[in-house]
Amino acid sequence: MPMQSAINLLLQRQSTPAKYHGEPAPGGDDLDLILRAAMSAPDHGAMQPWRLLLVRGTALVRLGDLFAESFKRRNPEASAELVERERSKPTRSPLLILLISRPQPNAKVPEWEQMMSLGAAAEHMQLMAQALGYGSIWLSGERCQDRWLLEQLGLGGDEWLYGYLAMGSPTEHCAGKTRKDPWDLTQDWVG
Ligand SMILES: Cc1cc2nc3c(=O)[nH]c(=O)nc-3n(C[C@H](O)[C@H](O)[C@H](O)COP(=O)(O)O)c2cc1C
C-alpha cells in the first residue's frame, strides 16, 4: 500500500452503523486479511491472550435467539417489543466477529495489558476491513457480561466477551467525521 493511503486510512477510519451493513460480508481472502491484521497487534510476551468467534449465515439468527433469551432472563418484565429488538441485533450485519479475552496469569504481563492487546487486535481488524471497502462497528452492551450467555456461546469460565465487530458492505455513504484536536489532550512532560 502506498504510504499516503495508509496515512489516509488511519486519519479517516470511522465506524459504519450496523443499519448500513449489507451483503456481501467479508469472506475468503478478504476475511483472511482481516484476521491476519489482528495477528500483528502488539502482544507482550506473545501470549495470544484472546480468540475470535465468527458468526455468519443462519448462526446469526441463532445468536439473535440467544440475545433475546439472555435479555429476558436479565429483564423478566421487558416488553415483547424490546425482546424482539434485542433478537434483531445480530442479523443487522452479515458478519460478526466475537472478541474473546482469555487472560492468563503472568508475572510480567498483567491482565490489563492482555486486554489492551485484544483492543489493538480489534482495531487492526477494523482498519483492514475499511481498507478493503467494508464497514464495521465495535458493539458490546450488557449482554457481553451475562455469564449465562457466555456459557451458551461456549466460552470457558476464564474467558470474557469484550464485544463484537459487526461488518458488512456499506449500503450508504457515511459522511466523514470531524475529529477533535489531539493537542487538546496532549502536553509535553518536562520533568
Ligand atoms: C469496547 C467498545 C465497545 C463499544 N460498544 C458500543 C455499543 O455497544 N454501542 C455503540 O453504539 N457503540 C459502541 N462502541 C462505539 C462504536 O464502536 C464507535 O466507536 C462509536 O460509534 C464512534 O464512532 P467512530 O468509531 O466512527 O468514531 C464501542 C466501542 C468500543 C471501543
Q: Write the residue with the smallest CA distance to atom 11 of ligand 1.
A: 139
Radius of gyration (Cα) for the chain, nearest Å? 18
Residue matched to cell numbers 457480561: 145
What is the per-residue pLDDT across 50-96, written as a single tens digit (0 to 9) for each? Answer: 999 999 999 999 999 999 999 999 999 999 999 999 999 999 999 99
State the closest ligand 1 atom to the C-alpha of 13, by its place in the atom list counted from 1: 26
Q: What is the pTM of this model?
A: 0.97
Domains of the chain, start order = 18-54+89-170 (3.40.109.10)
Angle at 44 between CA 41 and CA 50, to 5 degrees: 60
**Is there an atom of ligand 1 within 6 Å of 163 CB?**
yes
Nearest to 55 by CA among 75, 31, 81: 31
Cα-to-centroid distance, 138 and ligand 1 (Å): 5
What is the per-residue pLDDT across 135-173, written as a single tens digit (0 to 9) for each? Answer: 999 999 999 999 999 999 999 999 999 999 999 999 999
Q: Write the residue with the smallest CA distance to atom 9 of ligand 1.
A: 139
Could you give phi then psi for residue 132, rounded to 5 degrees?
A: -90, 0
**Is there an atom of ligand 1 within 6 Å of 138 CB?**
yes
Cα-to-centroid distance, 119 and ligand 1 (Å): 12
Predicted pLDDT of residue 106:
94
Nearest to 37 by CA among 108, 148, 145, 134: 134
Predicted pLDDT of residue 88:
98
